Amino acid sequence: MIFQCEDLERALQSPELMPDARAHADRCPRCARELYLWEQISQAAPGLHEEWESPGLWPRIRAEIRADIAARPAPSPWFRWGRWALAAAAVMAIALFLLRPWKTTSPGHDFLTDDALKEVQQAEAAYAKSIDKLSAVAGPGLEQSPSPLAAAYREKLLLLDSEIEELKATVASNQYNAYLQAQLASLYREKQKTLQDWLQNAKRN
Amino acid sequence: MVGVSQLTLTPGMNIEAFESDADLLAACRRRDVRAFEQVYQAHAPRLKSIAFHMTRNRQDAEDAVQEAFLKLYRAIDGFHGQSAIGTWLCRILINVCYDVQRKRQREADPEENPTPERQVEGEPTLAVALRQALMRINVRHRLVFLLFEVEGMRHSEIASILETPEGTCRAWLFEAKRELKRMLSEVRS
């Protein structure tokens, strides 16, 4: 193929024509400039990716999700009655299974849940204590730093603390709810991660 | 019901990862907040950047990402894994950003001059010129350019996000680069 200047645009769309285009550009300064600029655009483009810290964004999204869960419309009366009927049947079945009036009961079956709860509470206390230690290390630097990043971290930690307190109050009235316990665990992990992120960030700077 | 082993709190433990997309999607459908957090950790940086380029404002970009996640959360039952969850989220985000743009256009005072493009200190001249030229090209061409050249997405992903044939996406990318090249040539000459 005899490559001419008019073929350049077509070559930019068809990789198989690029070797010819390059050979032509070696002899044609105008096409060489065009080709150079074309490649420069692709090379400069990744530099336009924008990245910035936003430690408060996920806690905001999570709070909105939780609010959404809380604000879900109540099911229709029919559905509610149906659920009550199902729940009543389930309670009856469990009661019959546990009491087994037709048999002598063997002790010790319902202690497993209590043991598990005790284990969770002990682990939670140990975890909270270790986070307190981490807070003591991160605290002075975080409180005194005037940077906007430190302010964002402070805001996030405040949000987390208030969510932890709120959830702890809910858990206290429903201790056997595994889902709530898991949510509380997740909040503690988030707080730990935030403190660690801040400390790493402080170390870098 | 969550097992006790999952509830035990170990200091230093990280958020458990859902290993496959199917596990992650199943957990999202159960409304497991940890699964949404994993989706957030994986996709937020790219989503923030895309939203920033579409809204031209970091606060609006964060608000758009937040809104996109809420929409994802509310509509997760309607998602059947036709594409990757990140692809779907990106499509939601782009629609949210269009809403933000429309809202901003309604609110804008016609007498007011548009915000001039900022120049980042130390940014190479070509990047500055490219950033400015990008704002002046066709919206669809710009979007494909952003997703492919700036964010490094594949044509197949972009086609899925924009619900457009892959060939059309390639053509739009070519048009975007051609428009940008023409504008940059004008600036240089």
Q: What is the CATH number of the domain that holds B132?
A: 1.10.10.10
Spatial CB neighbours of A142, under 8 Å, sequence gap ≥ 6: A150, A153, A154, A157, A198, A202
| Residue contacts between A and B (CB atoms, under 8 Å) | 137
A187-196, B30-39, B64-73, B124-133: least confident range: A187-196
Asked if residue A162 is part of any domain, the answer here is: yes
- Position A110 confidence tier, pLDDT thresholds 50, 70, 90: very low
- Pick the residue from chain B with its C-alpha nearest to A126: B11
Between A39-48, A79-88, B170-179, the lowest mean confidence (pLDDT) is in A79-88
| pLDDT at residue B185 in the model | 86
By Cβ distance, the residue of A60, A62, A181 closest to B7 is A181
A35 and A122 inside one domain: no
Length of chain B: 189
Q: Does residue B98 sit in the same domain as residue B169?
A: no
Residue A107: is its pLDDT beyond 50? no
Predicted pLDDT of residue B9: 33
What ipTM did this prediction achieve? 0.83
For chain B, what is the domain count?
Answer: 2
Together in a domain, B33 and B54: yes
A77 vs A21 pLDDT, higher one: A21
Higher pLDDT, residue A150 or A36 = A36
SS3 B157: helix
**Does residue A65 form part of some domain?**
no
- Give me the residues of B, 88-127, that contact A with CB < 8 A: 123-124, 126-127
Report if residue B102 sits inside a domain. Answer: yes
Nearest to A65 among B3, B73, B177 (CB): B73
Q: Which of residues 25-54 of A touch B (CB under 8 A)?
A: 34, 37-38, 40-42, 44-52, 54
Q: Tell me what the pLDDT averaged over chain B comes to.
A: 84
Same domain, B45 and B93: yes
Is it the case that residue A81 has pLDDT exceeding 50?
A: yes
Asked if B65's CB is within 8 angstroms of A47's CB, the reply is no
**Is residue B109 predicted with pLDDT exceeding 70?**
no
**Among B48, B61, B174, whose Cβ lies nearest the Cβ of A13?**
B174
- More confident position, B9 or B150: B150
Q: Is residue A50 part of a domain?
A: no
Cβ–Cβ gap A44/B73 under 8 Å? no
- B93 vs B96: CA distance, rounded Å: 5
Determine the residue among B7, B46, B53, B60 to mutate to test chain A binding: the one whose Cβ has the most chain A Cβ atoms within 10 Å. B7
Question: What confidence score (pLDDT) does residue B168 get?
Answer: 95
Quick one: B61 and B139 in the same domain? no
* Pair B95, B132 in one domain: no
CA angle B67/B73/B76 to nearest 5° reads 130
Closest by CA to B162, choosing from B97, B101, B95, is: B95
Domain span at residue A32 reads 5-43
Residue B23 lies in a domain: yes
A85-89, A125-129, B9-13, B182-186: which range is least confident on average?
Answer: B9-13
B77 in contact with chain A, both atoms CB, cutoff 8 A:
no
Domain membership flag for residue B7? no
The rounded distance, in Å, linking the Cα atoms of B148 and B140 is: 12
- Ranking A81-85, B34-38, B176-180 by mean pLDDT, the lowest is A81-85
Domain finish residue from B61, B88, B111 = B111
Q: Which chain B residues in 117-176 lie under 8 Å from chain A, judged by CB atoms?
A: 123-124, 126-127, 130-131, 134, 145-146, 149-152, 174
Identify the band that residue B149 occupies on the pLDDT scale cut at 50, 70 and 90: very high
With bands split at pLDDT 50, 70 and 90, how would you rate the model's confidence at B166? very high
B106 or B124, higher pLDDT = B106
Mean pLDDT of chain A, nearest integer: 79
Q: Is residue B13 part of a domain?
A: no
In angstroms, the CA A65 to CA A16 distance is 51
Q: Which pLDDT score, from 0 to 100, does residue B129 have?
A: 92
A85 assigned to some structural domain: no
Q: How far is B16 from chain A (nearest CA, A)?
A: 10
- In terms of domains, do A113 and A189 share one? yes
Determine the distance in angstroms separating the CA of B152 from the nearest CA of chain A, rounded to an integer. 8
| B166 domain residue, yes or no | yes
Query: Is some CB atom of chain B closer than 8 A to the CB atom of A192?
Result: yes
Same domain, B99 and B142: no
B31 & B66 share domain: yes
- Nearest Cα of chain A lies from the Cα of B49 at a distance, in angstroms, of 5
> Range with the lowest mean pLDDT among A62-76, A179-193, B61-75?
A62-76
Same domain, B142 and B90: no
Name the residue of chain B whose CA is nearest to A38's CA: B181
Total number of domains in chain A: 2
| Contact call for B4 and A116, based on CB within 8 A | yes
Q: Are residues B66 and B28 part of one domain?
A: yes
B63 and chain A in contact, CB less than 8 A: no
> What is the spatial distance between Cα B84 and Cα B73, in angstroms, rounded to a whole number?
15
Q: Domain check: are B38 and B99 in the same one?
A: yes
Domain assignment present for B116? no
Residue B71 lies in a domain: yes
Query: How far is A174 from chain B, CA to nearest CA, in Å?
Result: 15
% of chain B residues with pLDDT over 90 = 59
Percent of chain B that is helix, strand, coil (3-state, to 5): 70, 0, 30
Q: Which residue has the higher pLDDT, B128 or A125?
A: B128
Give the pLDDT confidence score for residue B159 in this predicted structure.
Answer: 96
Summarize the confidence of residues B61-70 as an average pLDDT: 96
Mark whether B152 and B89 lie in a shared domain. Answer: no
Rounded CA separation A66/A49 (Å): 31
CA dihedral over B123, B127, B129, B133, signed as positive or negative: negative
Domain extent, residue B161, equals 122-189
Calpha distance B88→A5 (Å, rounded)? 42
What DSSP character marks residue B95? H
Nearest CA in chain B to A125: B9
Cβ separation A37–B48 shorter than 8 A: no
In a domain, residue A148? The reply is: yes
- Give the CATH number for residue B81: 1.10.1740.10
DSSP H or E segment with residue A77 = helix A77-99
Looking at the structure, tell me whether residues B157 and B189 fall in a common domain. yes
Interface contact flag, B73 A68, Cβ < 8 Å:
yes
| pLDDT for res B69 | 95
Residues A205 and A113 occupy one common structural domain: yes
B83, B111, B139 - which closes a domain: B111
**A86: enclosing H helix or E strand:** helix A77-99
**Domain for residue B64, yes or no?**
yes
Does residue A101 belong to any structural domain of this protein? no
